[in-house]
Structure formats: structure tokens, C-alpha cells
Structure 1
Amino acid sequence: MRKETLEQLALFGSPPSFAEEIPVGQVNLPPWDEFKAAFNGIFARGHYTNHGPLVAELEEAVKNALGVRHAICVTNGTIALAIAARALRLGGQVIVPAFTFPGTVQALSWAGLEPVFADVDAHTHGLTAASVAPHIGPQTSAVLGVHLWGTACDPSGLAALCDAHGLQLFYDAAHAFGCSHAGQFIGGLGRIEAFSFHATKIISGAEGGCLTTNDDEIAARARTIRNFHQAHSFADVGLRINGKMSEAQAAMALLSLRHFDAHRDHNRRIFMRYRERAAVWRGVRLYDYPNGEAHNYQYAVLEVDSAAGLSRDDLLDLLRAENVLARRYFHPGVHHLSPYAEQARPPLLPVTDALCRSSLQIPLGPRVDEGIAEVICGLIDLALAHADEIGRRLQARREGVPG
């Protein structure tokens, strides 16, 4: 039912728009018969881990899908980044955005590196050569860019900057499977790229991750680092870790890859409905994707500014009361989280801080159809039309004023 008055809002005592919660994550589960067949095969073979046939099949499929020389599947995306850093033989400091998932930065710390935070571009939400350059110092060994929301992170600008300073360049591509830059699928940019196959990603292994590279030597190191067993050695690497992908993860990811086109097309339909409705929203921008590039449409991200008349957090409270589980991404920013918040000189990241105050992810994926998207858009319409009154009531509630 479309709500048309403030009294109909769950925030002010009425029943929510949805009886069940609508999550923001993808959660693309395969058809049950395909899942059973895949897992029956695992049981029949009795090969559950240690580089089984499904892992090998997935690596070949990813390599072919992305047009890269090597794909190395691992336990998850965070382990993938830590392995990438070790495979690159990095030391000292690595420049990285704070507007990202904490695992991006913590992977560097686990690899024994010091993250140095750079600000991001207000429009793309990613690092640029201009934002990175002031942070390059004598201890800098690399730049870790993030293809946030699946948009490539200034590959040409960062590559030129890193080449000029003798730095390694690699990428967190957790959001970017099936996305392209300059007509080429993301996966072969920089020295190495890390993908996530988490349950909420468009390619889901329930958990899992993958490294892709066109560099034979780096691939050999990564394959060796991910495994404790000496028999699985391709390069002299020193430290190793148990970062293997299981056959169960590979089975799920292969099924997800089989249905990738359908999931992407569904996402695109919902995203286009959001885009159409967002065109008239005052003070609310829907993050859009580059024209002419492939995209997975995995995320629908809003930016709420002062022209909306209510804050991002007010809109978040309104939607969550209606069982729309919108989320603040990436509040409050990794630089404000432990252990990085304890730095003696906190970094000045005005764009990152502004985005952490303004960004809001709304639902996409298989739990959202066009009817649900229309209801969500209607709630945002109502919120913007009565922004001043909603803000006044919420402020009064916070101050304990009746009514």
C-alpha cells in the first residue's frame, strides 16, 4: 500500500509497509535441484578441500569470464587482499581509502603494512591520482585502490602516478565482478586484483574470494602463499597461510556464475526504476554508473544532502521503521575505527567524512521486485514532501517533548 500521510508512517505508530524485512544484500541462492546435484557430486567424490576439481573449474571459469591469465581462488576477499600484499612483497606504507569496508584496510595490517588514508573523489567515491599524490612519502610502497560500487578506481591516473614514483598498484575489486573499464572487464588492472564471493555479492560462494592477475610470477607466489602444504608450491615465498577455497564454496560460486546474467538483469531493472524516480528527488542523488560500460548493478546508493530538508539518519530511521533495511555505508569511515582511530594525528578526509554522513544504501537483489521498489520510492517521496515536519517531530522525540 502506498502511504500518503505522515500518520501512515510506521515511524509515527502505524504498521510498517512490509511485514518482513527487506535486506540490502543480494543473497542470490541457486535453484535447490542444482544445489543438491552439485553437493551430491562433492560427496560422491569425497574431495572436500585442498584444491579439488570444482575449485579448478571455478578458477578456469573466472579466468575466461574476465579475460585474465590467472585466477586464484581463496577463502574470502579479506584473505585475498592479504595474500595479494604478500605476493607483491610490499613493506612500509600503503595508501588506501578510508571510505571502504574495514576488511580492505585490516588486510593490510594483517600483512604487516601501515595503511595511510587518502581522501576520495566526491562524485566517484574512489581514490584519484590527485587525492593520493600528497600522501606519497619515503616509506610508501604501494597504492590499494577500491573499485567502489563496481566503478573502476581511476586506473590510468593511478597507474601513471605509481609508475612515476616506483610504487606497486593493486585493487580491491570486491564489488566489481562483471563490471568493465574502457571496454575491458575489471580483473586485469594494476598488478593484482581481489574479488569477494561473499553471500551478499552477485557471485556468491556463501563465502570465498579470488585473485586475478596477468603476472605469472605474482600468480605463482599467490598460489603458494594460500596453502600450508609444501607439495603445493610454485614460488619461494616464506610465510604461508591456510587460505584455500573449499569445494562447497566453489560449487556455490559456479552455480552463481551460471546465473550471473539473470541476476544482473534483475538488478538492472530495479536500478532503472530507482533511477527514474530519483530524477525528481530534491537533495537526494542516486549514485549512477559510467555510460557505455558493463555493470552488475549490485548497489543502489543514495547521497542525502541539506537540500533534502532532513538528514540521512532521519531518512534511514524512517525506512527501517517500514522494514526497509537501508544501511549507512561506510559510516563512520575506517579512519574513525579501532585501531586506526588511535593515531596521533588523525587524517583530514573531508570528502570521506561528508560521504559517511550522507550515504545510504537501499535494497536491491532477488528479494526486491518492481512493486517493492515502487513502495520504497513512495516512502522517499513522502519523506521529502514533508521533510520539515518529519525533522521537527524526530527532534522533539529526541528531546523528550510529547507529540
Structure 2
Amino acid sequence: MSCPELAVLGGTPLFEKPVPVGQLYFPEWEKYEAAMRGIFQRQYYTNQGPLTQELEQRLQERLQVRHVICVVNATIGLMMAADALGLRGKVIVPAYTFIATAQSLSWTGSEPLFCDVDPITHQLDPECVERLLEEHGAEVSAILAVNLWGDACRQDRLAELARKYAVRLYYDSAHGFGCELDGKPLGGAGDLEVFSFHATKVLSAAEGGCICTNDDELAARLRNIRSSYGAGPARQVLRTSNGRMSEAQAAVALLSLESFDSILARNEAMFHAYRQGLEGIQGVRLLTPASVSKTNYQYVVCEIDERAFGLNRNELQQVLSAENVVARRYFYPGLHRFVPYADQFPDASARLPVTEYLCERVLQLPIGQMVDAEGAGRIAAAIRMAGACAESIRRKLREAA
């Protein structure tokens, strides 16, 4: 195998332009233009317009839930959820997730209580959850679980703990739209679930999200929190937010929904190309969703074992960057190391060994509209070559430092 083929060693990059992570599926221009013209003709731009109402109805049917409340983005959705649930005190949340998950609690007056995750699936560890419930008792008002990577938490076990300790249970399912658990779509678990429709997600509104619930009273509160105008039955709420989804966002989401099955099929082909290309590489573990009966192939996530592979995760990231492959460290660092949580929980690292481990080893690879199955195979081949040429690469990186 010729090491100089790699760009970091002087070869030509695999791709002419940077290939990003994230889905980034854009609708066809003609359909997008027609949708925008319709909005201008109706002159109805936001505040529960006809497209937003149509989107909510179609999502309710697809997700098999009583209520879908569309919002401007998933972070606002999580903040609204905390208020609607009346959370106070501590909320158990994984330390290994996106910062907005914990910040939604800080913004609404609750305190995140960081929990470790399962070393194999990366999902919230129910045994760690129970230890925290025992330790903190009545201080805990809820469990905020996160369904990561197109997979799902152990929802049955978490529901059992929520009942046993009389706390609320809800889900950040930003990665989960289109996944199924035992043949049923994610969306109806716990008190509510929040999905993201950011451009990096499989269902895109360019930016946006929704909250799903089967609780009529909770839905009424959420609709009144969403904006000062309210919607549906009036409810007294602590505060309102500018959480309304615009008609332009709803239009993009409806177009994305039209193409959703083809998007999943394309993602699946890329995932299988990665799996075939990475098979047998020492020190590289491709995470395969195992809990769900159907995944959305939202992300391609690997763990890099430096001793077996020859390079650490950060060094491999540099190799791929030279190839114009924008691989990313997900999630890095753990939430307990972010401001202000690092000062609030100075001893958290000792209680979160799996989170610490994953933060140093996990690498996310491109999938979505900006790459295809052939490109995925080329990226996997570059990773294989990097492992074979690890000594030369390390020497080159040291010289460049």
C-alpha cells in the first residue's frame, strides 16, 4: 500500500471541496419556488398558518401521536417542554449529548444532573439513572433522556424508573425522526418527545422542530407557551416564547417529508458502504443502531482505539481533513466540562468514566446529500490506509506541528 496516496503525506485530496457531516438534503428548486410563491400569494407568513397546520396533521399521523406542536427549533422546544412540565430542582440528563439539551434546563431554572451512558450503545444508562435517583431523592423532578445516533434508549426501563420514583420522563429525540422501536415510530414515549428539523437532520425544515405528546393538557400548555397569541384552549402559563414555526420552514419540511423514504434509502446505502469498507480494520468500531427495529441512518459514528489503529481520533481527523472530509468529534467535550457546568460540578469527571472515554474516541463521518455510497467507500478506504501508514503519518504530523 502506497502511503503517499494520502493527502496528508503529499497526495491529492479525495474530494475537491469539503464534504460535511450532516444530512443537508435540499428540496428541488422548482418545488421550493412554487411553495414560496404560494406563501407570498396567501400573505400568511407565520403564527400557525395553513402549511404549519398541515405539517402538524401529517406528523401526527406518521408518528401515531395525538398532538404535534411545531416550533422554530428543537432547543426552544426543549425549553418549552421544561416549562410545560413544571420542572424544578434537578433533572437527570446524559453528559454525552449536545450542549443545548442541558442549556434548555439552565434557561428554565432547573439544574442538570449529569448521568453516564452505556459504553456500547452510547444511550443513557438506566443503572446510572437509578443511582442518581437514590442519591438525590426528592430533589429530582425529571429524567431527560436522549435518543442518539438513530437509535433509542431503553425506554421500558426508564419508564419503570420514572413510575417508581414519581418523576417526569421526556425525550430529546433530535436524532430520532423516522426511527421505530418494536415497529412503532419514536414520538409517543414518556410525557413528550422533541424532534429537530435542522438542516443536518433527516427531516429538514432548514431549521425547526416539533414536540410530540399524547397528553391533552400538556399539549394545551405547550400551545399557549409557544407564543403570546396562544392556540387552542387557553391555559395559564408561567411565560410565553417566540417559538412559532414560520410558513417557510413548514414548506421546506413538507417537501422533505415527500422525499423522506428516498432519503432513508440513500442513507442506508451509504451506511452499508461504510460498514463494508471499515470491516476488519483493527481499532475502528462502527456503531450500528441495535435497539430500534428501524433506524434513520442519521449518523455514521466510529470509535477509534489508538493502540489497535495506530493513530488517535484527533490524528485521524487531521488525516481526513487533508482529504477534504470534514469528520467531527461528537460530542466533545462532555457537557460537564462546559461553562458554567465545569465550575458547578468540579468532580463530575470521576463519575462519568464512559462519557470521558467516548469524548476522546468518537468520530462522526459524512453522510447525507453531499456524499454518496461510492464516496463513503472512498472515505472508508482512506481510513484503512491511514491505519496501515500510521507511523509515517505520525512522523509527518509531528514535523508540521
Tell me whether the two structures share a fold, i.e. TM-score over 0.5. Answer: yes
Structure 2, unaligned runs of 5 or more: none
- TM-score normalized with structure 2 length: 0.96
Amino acid at match of 2:398: Q
User: What CA distance in whole angstroms lies between the structure 2 residues aligned with 1:362 and 1:196?
Assistant: 20
Partner of 2:320: 319
Partner of 2:257: 257
- Give the one of 354, 357, 361 matched to 1:354: 357
User: What CA distance in whole angstroms lies between the structure 2 residues aligned with 1:61 and 1:219?
Assistant: 17
The secondary structure found in structure 2 opposite 1:220 is helix
Q: Is the 8 A contact 1:25 1:200 kept in 2?
A: yes
- Give the one of 84, 87, 112 matched to 1:87: 84
The secondary structure found in structure 2 opposite 1:187 is coil
After superposition, the Cα gap between the structure-2 partners of 1:237 and 1:294, relative to the gap in structure 1 and judged at 3 Å, is: same
Partner of 1:101: 98
Partner of 2:161: 161
- Give the one of 63, 67, 70 matched to 1:66: 63
Partner of 2:370: 367
Does 1:141 find its partner at 2:141? Answer: yes
Amino acid at match of 1:365: G
Amino acid at match of 1:75: V
After superposition, the Cα gap between the structure-2 partners of 1:230 and 1:158, relative to the gap in structure 1 and judged at 3 Å, is: closer
Q: Deviations over 1:113-153 (max 9, x none)?
A: 10010000001101121021122213100000000012111
The alpha carbon displacement at 1:291 in A equals 7.1
Amino acid at match of 1:335: H
Amino acid at match of 1:330: F
The secondary structure found in structure 2 opposite 1:150 is coil
The alpha carbon displacement at 1:397 in A equals 3.9
Amino acid at match of 2:85: L
The alpha carbon displacement at 1:233 in A equals 5.0
User: What CA distance in whole angstroms lies between the structure 2 residues aligned with 1:300 and 1:281?
Assistant: 16
The alpha carbon displacement at 1:292 in A equals 6.8
Does 1:118 find its partner at 2:115? Answer: yes
- Give the one of 46, 49, 74 matched to 1:49: 46
User: What CA distance in whole angstroms lies between the structure 2 residues aligned with 1:230 and 1:27?
Assistant: 32
Q: Is the 8 A contact 1:121 1:131 kept in 2?
A: no
User: What CA distance in whole angstroms lies between the structure 1 residues aligned with 2:124 and 2:289?
Assistant: 16
The alpha carbon displacement at 1:393 in A equals 3.4
Amino acid at match of 2:117: V
Equivalenced residue count is 395
User: What CA distance in whole angstroms lies between the structure 2 residues aligned with 1:147 and 1:331?
Assistant: 17
User: What CA distance in whole angstroms lies between the structure 1 residues aligned with 2:82 and 2:381?
Assistant: 45
Q: Is the 8 A contact 1:83 1:225 kept in 2?
A: yes
User: What CA distance in whole angstroms lies between the structure 2 residues aligned with 1:250 and 1:352?
Assistant: 36
Q: Is the 8 A contact 1:149 1:176 kept in 2?
A: yes
Partner of 2:270: 270
Q: Is the 8 A contact 2:101 2:172 kept in 1?
A: yes
- Give the one of 25, 28, 32 matched to 2:29: 32
Q: Deviations over 1:355-384 (max 9, x none)?
A: 110000001011111221121011011011
Partner of 1:338: 339
The secondary structure found in structure 1 opposite 2:376 is helix
After superposition, the Cα gap between the structure-2 partners of 1:246 and 1:373, relative to the gap in structure 1 and judged at 3 Å, is: same
Q: Deviations over 1:12-57 (max 9, x none)?
A: 2333121111111111100111101111110010000011000000
User: What CA distance in whole angstroms lies between the structure 2 residues aligned with 1:381 and 1:344?
Assistant: 39
Q: State the identity %.
A: 48
The alpha carbon displacement at 1:346 in A equals 3.0
User: What CA distance in whole angstroms lies between the structure 2 residues aligned with 1:31 and 1:374?
Assistant: 26
Residues 291-330 of structure 1 mapped to structure 2, 5 A cutoff: 293-305=293-305, 306-330=307-331
The secondary structure found in structure 2 opposite 1:301 is strand
Amino acid at match of 1:383: A
The alpha carbon displacement at 1:395 in A equals 3.4
Amino acid at match of 1:114: E
Structure 1, unaligned runs of 5 or more: 399-403
The alpha carbon displacement at 1:107 in A equals 0.8
Amino acid at match of 1:393: K
Partner of 2:9: 12
Q: Bigger CA drift: 306-315 or 5-14?
A: 5-14
Alpha-carbon RMSD: 1.4
Partner of 1:21: 18
Amino acid at match of 2:47: N
Amino acid at match of 2:139: Q
The alpha carbon displacement at 1:5 in A equals 2.1
Q: Bigger CA drift: 302-311 or 50-59?
A: 302-311
